[in-house]
Structure 1
Amino acid sequence: MTKPPQPDGPPPHPHPRKPVLALPPGSCDSHCHIYGPFDRFPLPRDRSFTPNEAPETALRRLHGHLGIARAVIVQSQGHGFDHRPLLDALARSAGRYRGVALLKPSCSEEEIAAFDAAGICGVRFNFLSHLGGRPDIDAMRAIIAKVRPFGWHVAVHVAGDDITIWSDVIRTIAAPVVIDHMARPPLSAGPDGSAMRTLRALVDGGKVWVKLSGGDRLSAAGAPYRDAKPIAASLARHAPERMLWGTDWPHVNLQGSMPDDGDLVDFIGDIVPDEASRRRMLVDNPAAFFGFDTHRPSDA
């Protein structure tokens, strides 16, 4: 038997606590990943990192524990362009999951159509070095043109001041755009730094949404992530109609102690204190943006 590869970091928290905050019915985890099971879906050789096994069954148990009803599973560089784990999860979900793909410029219309029918509704582009680095912009535009007839959104993953560097490119995207993890701005610059000002300006343009995920990655102090609250709360106040939230489970590419997902849920109460706004961010916005109420997989 082949020995499994050594993961690059620790596994997710094995026993997250029950959140104090009760999530509204129909809440959506708008950003999470799955890996494996590796006996069915081995990791590809061209992956950019090696994750721990974190299959859909574990994700489903976590969501049941936290009070989450729906989820958007984002294809990760850990599985590269092998979407079999994601497609398997979508087929099992009875409409509870939507997916976000990683695509090559060579992808065919038939492949995209099959992904669309399975429940995939977006394509992601990573600008981080450990996830493959900046994409070729011409290739990126070619992919966006191919998915546009299907009404997919475009997910953009940047960090530091990259949102400012790439803001003009983002403005030219002829599709709804979601910025992952609040654009991971420099914590030291606070909510009024250049990255945050650029992000708010993009949101004000009318087609950019933001995932208020990754507070644990921004924080220097650790749980309960109060040092990240000013950034997340400022976005939630600025445009509540364009905010989404996600766990980012199973928290890959982190070293040291893993975040407790119960803490991440309770962080919602810190950044969005009123119940109506929480329902908008957790239920109404994702239902509209990801098309949960209109998409019905053929086998659901």
Structure 2
Amino acid sequence: MTPAEATRGGRRVAAPPHPNPKVPDLRLPPRSCDAHCHIFGPGHVFPYPEDRAYDPPDVSKDDLRRRHDLLGLDRAIIVQSAAHGTDHSALLDALRTYPDAYRGVALLTPRTTPAEVAELHAAGVRGVRVQFMPHLGPGPTPDELRAVLDLVRPYAWHVAFHIAGDAVVDMFDTLRSTGLPAVIDHMARVDLATGLDGDQVRALRRLLDTGDVWVKLSAPERLSTEGPPYEDAVALARLLAAQAPERCLWGTDFPHPNVPEMPDDGVLVDLIERIVPDETARHRILVANPAGLADFPAEPR
């Protein structure tokens, strides 16, 4: 664990990822997928917008590939970051470089053109992320959300919701009524201080029961009130995985932008065995589920 947050000129500065993570003890099945990760720049090739929410470290497509090779992950879903906004140049470059290994999730607005959505789809984007996190900027209004959903509906993309705390309760009807697969990032970043039987976790579990909603078992370091080994967050992930393994995904959240303390990615991989003890369910969450949701080829070419 290393400090991971600072400020520069009033803007948050995200620290680089762990420089020397452990090699995981857990051997992952072939075609395992990191269903939530990011790339940043490098800034001299793919400049960051002036109005970015924070200053990221440069973490290139090749940095990501090296980290995945170390962890034993063959595939990944790269989520467009608020640090790049709606400029998808870096994401498109990564998807075109690793077309069988990587898929993408875009950030769109009602002003995004259908032609741009078509280009993103052709490159391997299979989802759109909508942010309801004040530190990343204002979330979409209901009309804006409908407009974005209409842009991606012809392609049947999934919709990744970045929410936290009571939003999983307050947005219950929205989360289950998109008409598209809805994926909740980071276990809805529920407040674990309210317990596993609190309103937030109950709402999250009810959403899983609808059959229309997926959950990423990612970012325990963001949820845990205890720090490593994140026992309270692992308990939540284990509960969700046991309830609906057919609609759970797992991801690193590498390179972990804006976390208070930087986790070791090898440790995060080893937590999977505690979250999903059953090998069949583990294969489903790591391989089959992301393959279906993100349209990966059945076998690598």
TM-score, normalization: structure 1? 0.94
Give 1:190 deviation, angstroms: 2.2
Alignment counterpart, residue 257 of structure 2, candidates 238, 252, 272 = 252
**Residue equivalent to 2:172:** 167
Query: How far apart in 1 are the matches of 2:122 and 2:110?
Result: 20
Query: How far apart in 2 are the matches of 1:261 and 1:71?
Result: 14
Contact 1:181 1:210 in 2 (8 A): yes
Which residue identity lines up with residue 285 of structure 2 in the other structure?
M
Q: Deviations over 1:24-51 (max 9, x none)?
A: 1110000000001111011111211111
Which residue identity lines up with residue 156 of structure 1 in the other structure?
F
Instruction: Determine whether 1:179 maps to 2:184.
Output: yes
Contact 2:110 2:147 in 1 (8 A): yes
**Residue equivalent to 2:14:** 9
> Structure 1 stretches of 5 or more lacking a match?
none
Alignment counterpart, residue 30 of structure 2, candidates 22, 25, 34 = 25
Q: What secondary structure is seen at the aligned counterpart in 2 of 1:72?
A: strand
More deviation, 234-243/166-175: 166-175
Which residue identity lines up with residue 33 of structure 1 in the other structure?
H
**Residue equivalent to 2:280:** 276
Query: How far apart in 2 are the matches of 1:272 and 1:201?
Result: 20
Distance 1:294 1:133, change over 3 A: farther
Query: How far apart in 1 are the matches of 2:90 and 2:236?
Result: 34
Alignment counterpart, residue 198 of structure 1, candidates 190, 196, 203 = 203
Q: What secondary structure is seen at the aligned counterpart in 2 of 1:8?
A: strand
Distance 1:7 1:163, change over 3 A: closer
Q: Deviations over 1:61-97 (max 9, x none)?
A: 0000000000000001001111000000000003210
**Residue equivalent to 2:44:** 39
Contact 2:157 2:181 in 1 (8 A): yes
Instruction: Determine whether 1:67 maps to 2:72.
Output: yes
Give 1:286 deviation, angstroms: 0.5
Structure with more strand by fraction? 2
Distance 1:293 1:263, change over 3 A: same
Contact 1:95 1:292 in 2 (8 A): yes
Q: What secondary structure is seen at the aligned counterpart in 2 of 1:191?
A: coil
Contact 1:214 1:247 in 2 (8 A): yes
Query: How far apart in 1 are the matches of 2:20 and 2:226?
Result: 21
**Residue equivalent to 2:146:** 141
More deviation, 269-278/84-93: 269-278
Give 1:126 deviation, angstroms: 0.7
More deviation, 158-167/199-208: 199-208
Give 1:136 deviation, angstroms: 1.3
Q: What secondary structure is seen at the aligned counterpart in 1 of 2:55?
A: coil
Give 1:7 deviation, angstroms: 6.3
Give 1:225 deviation, angstroms: 1.2
Q: Which runs of 4+ in 1 moved over 3 A?
A: 4-7
Instruction: Determine whether 1:78 maps to 2:77.
Output: no
Distance 1:273 1:167, change over 3 A: same
Give 1:188 deviation, angstroms: 1.3
Instruction: Determine whether 1:54 maps to 2:59.
Output: yes
Contact 2:100 2:297 in 1 (8 A): no
> Structure 2 stretches of 5 or more lacking a match?
1-7
Contact 2:132 2:139 in 1 (8 A): yes
Query: How far apart in 1 are the matches of 2:195 and 2:243?
Result: 15
Q: Deviations over 1:88-144 (max 9, x none)?
A: 000000321000000010111111111100000111001011111332111111110
TM-score, normalization: structure 2? 0.94
Q: What secondary structure is seen at the aligned counterpart in 2 of 1:192?
A: coil
RMSD: 1.8
How high is the sequence identity, in percent, across the aligned residues?
52
Query: How far apart in 1 are the matches of 2:225 and 2:62?
Result: 31
Q: Deviations over 1:131-160 (max 9, x none)?
A: 113321111111101110111110001001
**Residue equivalent to 2:4:** none
Give 1:294 deviation, angstroms: 6.8
More deviation, 63-72/167-176: 167-176
Q: How many residues align?
A: 293
Query: How far apart in 2 are the matches of 1:72 and 1:230?
Result: 24
**Residue equivalent to 2:290:** 286
Query: How far apart in 2 are the matches of 1:190 and 1:231?
Result: 9
Contact 1:7 1:52 in 2 (8 A): no
**Residue equivalent to 1:157:** 162
